[in-house]
């Protein structure tokens, strides 16, 4: 049977760890992010967290019912990092662009954590705040509810999908990253026009573009589509 989770205020009254630190959800999530960065998802265990926090691993289950709940808290922390300091300006396109780029950047800054959490739905406070903000931007701009939900769906899924894709590349060993990037110059750029005419003509542009994230371009395309939808409502 899962142990009961003790409310945060009661946890804080308990004695500190052996090193004098009073545990909190935030400290545990920060330690988990460090472990993910250093060891990947396989290295995120209660035992290693206990060592990192200088506490008995069983103590962690007073804060989280299990490692999956901790995973959801990590994902929510990334969203919170993205939203920190952001305020809507009232210009819907600029606001959605900023939110999207912030979320993408927060995830790729923690590539191992992004791989673990980008596909999850946390239902936690920061995720709810982000969803409320995006929906409010769209509704305030004048999008009907069905269009709001359709655009919101595409916006969130596209942002997280690119975050997961780009994070997967960044999580590769450095040598593998460089090897993948080099293929655009060593293979694509050397294909003859006789056999691969379209690749040959595009090779210089491909070698420059394909080593960067396509998310900003995809985001602008989505916003262009949303703007066309909005314009069609008034015509």
Instruction: Give 153's Cβ-side CA count (13 Å radius).
Output: 6
Q: What is the pLDDT of residues 73-110, one digit of tens each?
A: 999 999 999 999 999 999 999 999 999 999 999 999 99
SS percent in the chain: helix, strand, coil, step 5: 70, 0, 30
What stretch(es) of the chain map to CATH 1.10.10.60? Answer: 8-65
**Confidence band of 22 (pLDDT split at 50, 70, 90):** confident
The reported pTM is 0.88
Q: In this structure, are residues 17 and 54 in contact, taking their beta carbons and an 8 Å threshold? A: yes
Q: Identify the three-state secondary structure at position 56.
A: coil
- Summarize pLDDT for 116-166 with one digit per residue, the tens: 999 999 999 999 999 999 999 999 999 999 999 999 999 999 999 999 999
Q: Can you spell out the DSSP letters for 157-206?
A: HHHHHHHHHHHHHHTS-HHHHHHHHHHHHHTGGG--TTT-HHHHHHHHHH
Q: Where in the chain is the domain with CATH 1.10.357.10?
A: 88-234
Topology annotation, domain 88-234: Tetracycline Repressor; domain 2 (1.10.357)
pLDDT at 12: 44
Class level of CATH domain 8-65: mainly alpha
Q: Is the pLDDT of residue 225 over 80?
A: yes
Confidence band, pLDDT 50/70/90 cuts, at residue 42: confident
pLDDT, residue 41, reads: 87
């Amino acid at each position: 049977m899962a142990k009961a989770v003790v409310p945060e205020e009661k946890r804080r009254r308990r004695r500190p760890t052996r090193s004098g630190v009073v545990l909190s959800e935030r400290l545990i999530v920060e330690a988990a992010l460090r472990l993910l960065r250093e060891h990947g998802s396989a290295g995120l265990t209660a035992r290693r967290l206990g060592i990192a926090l200088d506490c008995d691993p069983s103590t962690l289950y007073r804060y989280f019912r299990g490692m999956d709940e901790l995973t959801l808290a990590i994902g929510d922390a990334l969203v919170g990092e993205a939203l920190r300091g952001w305020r809507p300006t009232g210009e819907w396109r600029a606001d959605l662009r900023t939110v999207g780029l912030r979320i993408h950047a927060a995830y790729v800054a923690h590539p191992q954590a992004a791989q673990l959490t980008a596909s999850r739905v946390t239902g936690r406070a920061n995720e709810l705040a982000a969803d409320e903000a995006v929906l409010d931007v769209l509704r305030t701009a004048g999008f009907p509810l069905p269009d709001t939900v359709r655009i919101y769906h595409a916006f969130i899924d596209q942002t997280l999908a690119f975050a997961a894709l780009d994070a997967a590349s960044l999580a590769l060993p450095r040598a593998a990253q460089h090897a993948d990037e080099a293929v655009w110059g060593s293979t694509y750029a050397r294909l003859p026009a006789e056999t691969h005419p379209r690749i040959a003509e595009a090779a210089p542009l491909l070698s420059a573009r394909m080593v960067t994230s396509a998310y900003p371009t995809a985001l602008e395309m989505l916003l262009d589509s949303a703007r066309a939808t909005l314009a069609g409502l008034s015509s």
